[in-house]
């Protein structure tokens, strides 16, 4: 049993040790207050220190755990990025193959267009293309391509695309010009019917002798439609001596067509007409022996055989 008593001396604690039997053997322990306080302070410091160590330990363990998790995450990200680069490389290689096919197609179309071109067709502005397919770094192989390989490939493809776009743009302009030339070139019959008089010297339909016929006559039904044989601008739509009711269309490049003896004129002076557009109806006005259209083609003011344009 421990009995604690406070002595009058306030600077010390006295602890009395009393045995259970009798008063003999009672012993007193005198401990200075300063020592007790020091011990208490030391104990507190130790507790704080231990708490500190414990907290620090947990922090260290937590940090290590986080670092490990972060490393694992980075490893996963890295693996995923490698896969992405491989996928990108496959897509780029496929794009290159598409590009090579496009180059070949461009070359084929250009060859066809040039074969079809006549002597008057300009070939200016055509872009030559390399017959060799493009070869870039980073195509397949056991090792995955690096990002810089892919970058080079993409840059080369961008440059090739620009060349290809310019080439196709030139081709488009070339074809548009060609279409315009074709549209402005007389190439169809002006009316349905039967050719009753050809171009050139013929027996005069007005009696004896012969006369020079500057066009062809196509006989058909009265009021049958007469169409422009090419795109152009109407430069005359009125009565003309001998021709009766006449339409004259200027197609540019010195080419003019005339449609005579009409019963009715539809196209007006200055009107832009398209190939195949109805411009008048068949009749027998002017110097005519029956219903027909007199079709005439002039090149630089000289009547030529319309057969060349049919």
Q: Determine if residue 57 is left, alpha or beta; phi over 0 gives left, psi from -120 to 50 gives alpha, anything else beta.
A: alpha
Which residue's CB is nearer to Zn ion, number 217 or number 248?
217
Tell me the CA distances in angstroms from 36 to 11, 117, 170, one per residue in order. 10, 117, 103
Minimum CB distance to Zn ion, residue 223 (Å): 19
**Do residues 186 and 230 touch, judged by C-beta distance below 8 A?**
yes
Minimum CB distance to Zn ion, residue 160 (Å): 59
- Of the listed pieces 59-67, 129-137, 217-225, 267-275, which binds Zn ion according to CB under 5 A? 217-225
- Of the listed pieces 9-17, 172-180, 288-296, 302-310, which binds Zn ion according to CB under 5 A? 288-296
Minimum CB distance to Zn ion, residue 287 (Å): 9
The single residue among 294, 297, 306, 309 that binds Zn ion, judged by CB under 5 A, is 294
Which residue's CB is nearer to Zn ion, number 164 or number 294?
294
Minimum CB distance to Zn ion, residue 205 (Å): 9
- The residue at minimum Cβ distance from Zn ion is 294
- Of the listed pieces 88-96, 151-159, 216-224, 273-281, which binds Zn ion according to CB under 5 A? 216-224
Minimum CB distance to Zn ion, residue 252 (Å): 24
Minimum CB distance to Zn ion, residue 162 (Å): 57
Minimum CB distance to Zn ion, residue 285 (Å): 12
Cα–Cα dist 170/196, whole Å? 46
- Which residue in 179, 182, 196 sits closest to 255, CA to CA? 182
Enumerate residues 153-182 that contact Zn ion by CB under 5 A. none
- Of the listed pieces 5-13, 22-30, 202-210, 286-294, which binds Zn ion according to CB under 5 A? 286-294
Q: Judge residue 243's burial from the number of C-beta atoms within 10 Å of its C-beta, 0-12 exposed, 13-18 middle, 19 or more buried.
A: buried
The single residue among 149, 174, 217, 231 that binds Zn ion, judged by CB under 5 A, is 217
Largest CA distance in the chain: 183
Which residue's CB is nearer to Zn ion, number 136 or number 199?
199
The verdict on 231 binding Zn ion (CB under 5 A) reads no
Which residue's CB is nearer to Zn ion, number 251 or number 294?
294
Euclidean distance between the first and the last CA atom of the chain, given in angstroms as a whole number: 140
Interface contacts to Zn ion, rule CB under 5 A: 217, 294
């Amino acid at each position: 049993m421990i009995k604690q008593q406070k002595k009058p001396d306030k600077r010390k604690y006295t602890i009395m040790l009393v045995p259970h039997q009798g008063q003999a053997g009672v012993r007193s322990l005198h401990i200075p207050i300063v020592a007790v306080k020091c011990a208490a302070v030391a104990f507190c410091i130790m507790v704080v220190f231990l708490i500190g160590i414990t907290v620090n330990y947990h922090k260290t363990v937590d940090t290590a755990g986080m670092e490990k998790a972060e490393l694992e995450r980075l490893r996963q990200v890295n693996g995923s990025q490698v896969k992405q680069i491989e996928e990108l490389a496959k897509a780029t290689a496929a794009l290159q193959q598409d590009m090579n096919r496009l180059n070949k197609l461009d070359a084929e179309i250009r060859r066809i267009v040039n074969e079809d071109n006549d002597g008057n067709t300009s070939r200016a502005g055509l872009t030559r293309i390399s017959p060799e397919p493009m070869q870039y770094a980073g195509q397949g192989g056991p090792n995955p391509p690096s990002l810089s390989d892919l970058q080079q490939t993409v840059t080369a493809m961008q440059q090739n695309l620009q060349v290809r776009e310019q080439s196709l743009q030139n081709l488009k302009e070339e074809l548009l010009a060609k279409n315009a030339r074709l549209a402005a070139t007389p190439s169809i019959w002006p009316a349905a019917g039967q050719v009753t008089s050809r171009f050139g010297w013929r027996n005069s339909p007005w009696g004896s002798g012969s006369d020079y016929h500057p066009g062809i006559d196509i006989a058909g039904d009265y009021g049958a439609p007469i169409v422009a044989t090419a795109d152009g601008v109407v430069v005359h739509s009125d009565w003309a001596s001998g021709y009766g009711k006449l339409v004259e269309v200027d197609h540019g490049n010195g080419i003019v067509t005339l449609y005579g003896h009409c019963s009715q004129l539809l196209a007006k002076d200055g009107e832009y007409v398209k190939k195949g557009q109805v411009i008048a109806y068949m009749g027998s006005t002017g110097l005519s022996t029956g219903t027909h259209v007199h079709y005439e083609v002039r090149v630089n003011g000289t009547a030529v055989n319309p057969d060349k344009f049919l």
